Amino acid sequence: MNAHDTSIDLAAYFERIGFSGPARPAPTLDTLRALHLLHPQAIPFENLDVLIGRPVRLDLESVQRKLVTDKRGGYCFEQNRLFRSVLQTLGFRVRSFAGRVLWGREAPDMPPRTHMLLLVDLDEGTFVADVGFGGMTLSAPLVLQTGLEQITPHGAFRLEDASGEPQAYLLQALVNGTWTNVYRFDLDPQYDADYEMANHFVSTYPQSVFVHNLLAARLAPGKRYGLFNRRFSAHDEREGSDHRELDGVAGLRRVLESELGIRLPDSAELDAALARLPNQA
């Protein structure tokens, strides 16, 4: 459905995520698992460009420059665009789809398709691959099979049948002992033009959560870090969760650069945008 990307700089990408395997690993499940674990621990989720009024470009050259060369982060369309290109270059069979985000949503109406995810076809079966869902990003591929609790390095997930649609799936995460909806998706193929349209919507629509709020997240071994406006959260698999409000622009910049691992853009608008963020308490 999408032409294979052949201009990815594998060496630079592997250095960025800390992959120490062969220069061109075989397209196996072990390789997929290794890359899927390393990517979200090295390349953070963030929407700083949207917050300061810069366009989010999805062409491979722009995505690679931002996430790899400039050591920034990005959101789902950028993250999974890059990951798809890496996988296809290695010879994986990858298909692109779109999800409807349910995480943190209480409204009963059906949300639009604003999330990009991938399916990878291997001899062992078909797997969901998704390195771009913020604080609940997967750290391992999930086999496309319903009713199966799947343990990842960062918690348990499962896929269930989504009622009302043929071949529709509901991704859920086990949070504090409760299965919580993350997003739903079906097997309607998506093309790059579909992602361009969705990207324009989430980055410019006045009611989009990305336009007026700061969102950033990163995984670390056994941990999840997340930032929504001034509220910083750190979840440790063994020690539980900690939340705190950050004071001032300096505090926000420090967390973005340290715990979130973002090389902040050189922009005069950044500090002003950070200063405008509301408190969540």
Where do runs of H (alpha helix) occur along the chain?
10-17, 29-42, 48-51, 60-64, 76-90, 192-204, 209-212, 248-257, 268-275
Cα–chain center distance at 28: 22
Choice among 130, 188, 242, 243 that is catalytic: 130
The answer to whether 130 and 138 have CB atoms below 8 angstroms apart is: yes
Is 115 an active-site residue? yes
Is 39 an active-site residue? no
Burial of 133 (0-12, 13-18, 19+ CB in 10 A): buried
Choice among 39, 115, 154, 235 that is catalytic: 115
Choice among 36, 39, 49, 76 that is catalytic: 76
Taking CA 158 as the corner, what is the angle to CA 153 and CA 159, rounded to the nearest 5 degrees? Answer: 140
Is 130 an active-site residue? yes
Distance CA 116, CA 63 (A): 15
Q: Which residues are catalytic?
A: 76, 115, 130
